Amino acid sequence: MRSPSRSLPRTAFAVLGVTGLLAVGACATENESPDAEPVATVATMEESTTGETLSVVLNDAEGTEFGTVEISEVNDALQISADLSGLEPGFYGFHIHQTGLCEPDSAAPGAPDDTGDFLSAGGHLGSDEADHPDHAGDLPQLLVKESGDAVLTFETDRLTLSDLEDEDGSAIMIHSGPDNYANIPERYASEGADEDSLNTGDAGSRLACGVVDA
């Protein structure tokens, strides 16, 4: 024979329900003022910077300005941001060169017979230590939109501001064509990239240049 179950009267449930509602209401009243409005909370990530930002203006050999490149130290790397306009659509090789000289119709360092626009800037920064695309000054290439504008931001840990601001300075360069990063498949050349590709990425002549100033 089962023992009869014990239950609370219905009035007890009603009292408990009202008491619970009053308790919840009291908590809400303590935490919110009558005039309080909802507040959206947005999580943000802060970047660690040194505070120094270099701004480099890029011009062609005739002095036409294409825009600026900003360089700053962030997150133990260099952040490089390009904001350019007035270029033909397409890809362009984009590098940092060894010497802070942007002279039209100039000679390459150590090669007085080799002349052309901005050759005074020398080769890619770090080209004495590695082949292309592993030079310290090798950067992602620019993609110019149909509008003629190009915006590019990236980080590289191959360089520091000290590397750019050394005794002979450095220069930002836009080349006239795309950079192949010395990627020459064996079906085109059984021996791979030749000396020119390993030095320049076959990015063509020097279209625009800007001296990195502290």
| Residue 138 β-bridge partners | 95
Q: Closest Cα to residue 79, out of 88, 70, 67, 87? A: 70
* pLDDT band with cut points at 50, 70 and 90 for residue 48: low
pLDDT of residue 209: 98
In terms of average pLDDT, the best of 39-48, 70-79, 122-131 is 70-79
pLDDT band at 45, cuts 50/70/90? very low
Q: Are 212 and 54 in contact (CB under 8 A)?
A: yes
What pLDDT shows up at residue 94? 96
**Sequence ranges of the domains in the chain:** 49-211
In order of 5, 29, 31, 32, 206, the CA distances from 20 in angstroms are: 25, 14, 17, 19, 77
Q: pLDDT above 90 covers what percent of the chain?
A: 49
pLDDT of 39 = 44
List, for residues 87-120, the tens digit of each pLDDT value: 999 999 999 999 999 999 999 998 899 899 999 9
pTM of the model: 0.71
The CATH number of the structural domain formed by 49-211 is 2.60.40.200
**DSSP designation for 138:** B
pLDDT single digits (tens) 127-158: 677 666 667 889 999 999 999 999 999 999 99
- CA-based nearest residue to 117, from 65, 169, 164, 175: 175
Give me the count of residues in the chain: 214
User: Residue 23 — very low, low, confident or very high, per pLDDT cuts 50/70/90?
Assistant: very low
